[in-house]
């Protein structure tokens, strides 16, 4: 009944650093290539892999992730491939958490999904378009299968919503640092620091991981000063889109892993 995500993030904290969470979608450039990239990220120092389920209408993603995911969707990549990736990441020694838009889970069957994810060794689910208000069936299934459920908070969330959303979360809370879609940004906004502080007040104790826009070690270091984990997505996908493959993923991970270990310099 303890969260493996929370445990891993706490372990990083005990080392005096933030956790590094790497997002990669299953199926780009193909299923094998994506699993190789995930394993490379684990070997180079990622603590958690956020395993993306390809979806035809990724409303929260910017052009970089859209481009990769469209290839996977066209190739017919589905949840069976996702569970293979989960097994591979677990075997490589990181904690696998699945990130998915809601419809693929609803289509697969919520109960069946929870069972199969747990059986594959997955820790839980990040749901960018499922808010706790609509998540009754998922929360019940996750409870039964002992899975984490990671919901998002945003700069526009009211204090009341920060309380209800964090109360429904287990594992960590995904702090979406800016208003917008995924994609690398030059500056990590001040909004992230403010939102982390507000969320911490809403529910002290639950790990808070910041994502949206982080692309390099310097930004990771900046966030590591106040967040429990740093989530990097588009920058990883760009490595693959630009053909640098597992080597590119390893190099990026090394930079980010050094970043989360630097005593962050508040901007």
Partner 1 sequence: MTTTSPPQPGDLSLPARPGWPDATGHFGIFGGRFVPEALIAALDELTEAYEAMRVDPAFLEEFARLQRDYTGRPSPVTEVPKFAAHAGGARILLKREDLNHTGSHKINNVLGQALLTKRIGKTRVIAETGAGQHGVATATAAALMGLSCTVYMGEADTRRQALNVARMRLLGAEVIPVTTGSRTLKDAINEAFRDWVTNVETTNYVFGTVAGPHPFPAMVRDFQRVIGDEARAQVLEREGRLPDAVLACVGGGSNAIGIFTAFVGDEGVRLVGLEAGGDGVGTGRHAATITGGTPGVLHGARSFLLQDENGQTIESHSISAGLDYPGVGPEHSYLHQIGRAEYRPVTDAEAMEAFALLCRTEGIIPAIESAHALAGALVLGRELGASGAGGRGGEPPLLLVNLSGRGDKDVETASAWFGLGEDAAPTDEDDRAVEEGRGADPGPGLDTHQQPTEGAVSNDQAVAGQDAGETA
Residue 98: CB partners within 8 Å, gap ≥ 6? 50, 51, 52, 53, 82, 86, 117, 122, 124, 125, 126
Dist CA 251 CA 12 (whole Å): 20
Q: Is 22 in the site for partner 1 (CB under 8 A)?
A: no
Q: Is 123 in the site for partner 1 (CB under 8 A)?
A: no
Among 29, 33, 36, 66, interactor with partner 1 by CB under 8 A: 66
Q: What would the two tokens of residue 56 be?
A: 């035809």
Among 15, 32, 133, 247, interactor with partner 1 by CB under 8 A: 133
Q: Which of 104, 41, 40, 45 is nearest to 72 (CA)?
A: 104
Q: Is 110 in the site for partner 1 (CB under 8 A)?
A: no
Distances (CA, A) of 194 to 128, 131, 154, 215, 227: 21, 21, 11, 20, 11
Q: Annotated catalytic sites, by residue?
A: 50, 61
Q: Is 29 in the site for partner 1 (CB under 8 A)?
A: no
Q: Is 176 in the site for partner 1 (CB under 8 A)?
A: yes
The span of 39-47, 88-96, 130-138, 217-225 binding partner 1 (CB under 8 A) equals 130-138
Q: Is 128 in the site for partner 1 (CB under 8 A)?
A: yes
Q: Is 137 in the site for partner 1 (CB under 8 A)?
A: no
Dist CA 167 CA 48 (whole Å): 22
Contacts with partner 1, 70-99, as mask; x by CB under 8 A: x--x--xxxx--------------------
Q: At its nearest, how many Å lie between partner 1 and the CB of residue 169?
A: 11
Q: At its nearest, how many Å lie between partner 1 and the CB of residue 88?
A: 20
Strands (E), 178-226: 208-211
3-state DSSP assignment of residue 124:
strand
Q: What would the two tokens of residue 54 be?
A: 């390809």
Decide: 132 and 139 in contact? Cβ < 8 Å: yes
Q: Considering CB under 8 A, how many residues would be counted as binding partner 1?
A: 42
Q: At its nearest, how many Å lie between partner 1 and the CB of residue 55?
A: 7
Q: Is 151 in the site for partner 1 (CB under 8 A)?
A: yes
Q: What would the two tokens of residue 173 be?
A: 């809370």
Q: Is 232 in the site for partner 1 (CB under 8 A)?
A: no
Among 52, 62, 233, 248, interactor with partner 1 by CB under 8 A: 62
Q: Is 154 in the site for partner 1 (CB under 8 A)?
A: yes
Q: Which of 186, 165, 17, 38 is nearest to 98 (CA)?
A: 38
Binding site for partner 1 (CB under 8 A): 54-60, 62, 66, 70, 73, 76-79, 102-108, 128-131, 133-134, 151-158, 161, 165, 176, 179-181
């Amino acid at each position: 009944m303890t969260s493996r995500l929370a445990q891993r993030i706490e372990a990083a904290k005990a080392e005096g650093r933030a956790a590094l969470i790497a997002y990669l979608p299953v199926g780009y450039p193909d299923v094998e290539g994506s699993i190789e990239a995930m394993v490379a990220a684990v070997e180079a120092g990622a603590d958690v892999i956020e395993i993306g389920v390809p979806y035809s209408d990724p409303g929260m993603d910017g052009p970089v992730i859209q481009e990769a995911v469209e290839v996977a969707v066209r190739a017919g990549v589905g949840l069976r491939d996702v569970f293979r990736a989960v097994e591979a990441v677990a075997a490589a020694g990181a904690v696998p958490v699945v990130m998915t838009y809601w419809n693929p889970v609803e289509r697969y069957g919520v109960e069946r999904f929870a069972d199969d994810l747990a059986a594959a060794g997955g820790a839980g689910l990040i749901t960018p378009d499922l808010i706790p208000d609509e998540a009754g069936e998922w929360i019940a299934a996750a409870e039964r299968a002992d899975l984490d459920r990671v919901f998002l908070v945003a700069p526009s969330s009211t204090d009341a919503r920060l309380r209800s959303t964090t109360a429904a979360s287990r594992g960590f809370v995904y702090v979406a640092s800016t208003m917008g879609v995924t994609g690398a940004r030059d500056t990590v906004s001040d909004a992230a620091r403010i939102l982390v502080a507000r969320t911490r007040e809403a529910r002290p104790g639950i790990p808070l991981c910041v994502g949206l826009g982080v692309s390099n070690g310097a930004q990771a270091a900046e966030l590591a000063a106040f967040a429990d984990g740093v989530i990097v997505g588009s920058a990883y996908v760009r490595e693959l889109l630009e053909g640098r493959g597992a080597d590119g993923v390893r190099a990026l991970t090394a930079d980010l892993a050094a970043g989360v270990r630097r005593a962050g310099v508040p901007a």
